[in-house]
């Protein structure tokens, strides 16, 4: 079981992932309004400037794979939206979940607050 400091860092990582989703969703809607095709590369290029903004410097404390995975998830939603057979409704903003806290890493591993968890570099675990 993670100790209290690790639990705080995991909660911050999950909150940062939700924040990045919401920010990139807003940017992708602006791109959509300009009739730009939205894919991973076009969304991801906005992450570095966002992390360098002083008010969002907390994003630098988060495992970057978590943030990049949220952008991949968003790009996948847009890909389904554009695909004629899979035309899917876009998800709304992410909010704090009421069920088990969970997020995905770039390698497909899912992180959940429970006793057995993989090691994360920035959490020293």
pLDDT at 38: 87
Domain membership of residue 119 as a residue range:
4-123
pLDDT at 63: 84
What mean pLDDT value characterizes the chain? 80
Q: How many domains does the chain have?
A: 1
The residue count for the chain: 125
When pLDDT is averaged across residues 21-43 and rounded to a whole number, the result is 91
pLDDT at 122: 62
CA distance 125 to 109: 16
Q: pLDDT digit string (tens) for 34-66?
A: 988 888 999 999 999 999 999 999 999 888 888
CA distance 47 to 70: 11
Higher pLDDT, 90 or 15: 15
Give the distance from CA 21 to its chain's centroid.
5
Write the DSSP assignment of 52-106 as a string of letters.
HSGGGGGGGGS-HHHHHHHHHHHHHHHHHHHSTTT--PPP------SS--EEE-T
Specify the 3-state DSSP secondary structure of 23: helix
pLDDT at 7: 85
pLDDT at 121: 60
pLDDT at 45: 93
pLDDT class of 11 with cuts at 50, 70, 90 = confident
pLDDT class of 115 with cuts at 50, 70, 90 = very low
Specify the 3-state DSSP secondary structure of 38: coil
Extract the tokens encoding 23: 């920010």
Please state, as a whole number, how many other Cβ atoms lie within 10 Å of the Cβ of residue 49: 9
Are 77 and 88 a contacting pair, CB within 8 Å?
Answer: yes
């Amino acid at each position: 079981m993670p100790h209290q400091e690790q639990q705080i860092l995991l909660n911050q990582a999950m909150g940062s992932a939700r924040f990045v989703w919401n920010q990139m969703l807003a940017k992708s809607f602006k791109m959509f309004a300009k009739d730009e095709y939205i894919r991973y590369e076009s969304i991801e290029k906005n992450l570095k400037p966002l992390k360098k903004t002083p008010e969002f410097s907390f994003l630098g404390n988060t495992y970057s794979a978590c943030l990049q995975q949220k952008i991949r998830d968003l790009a996948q939603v847009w890909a389904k939206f554009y695909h004629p057979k899979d035309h899917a409704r876009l998800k709304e903003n992410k909010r704090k979940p009421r069920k088990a806290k969970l997020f995905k890493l770039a390698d497909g591993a899912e992180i959940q607050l429970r006793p057995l968890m993989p090691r994360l570099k920035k959490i020293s675990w």
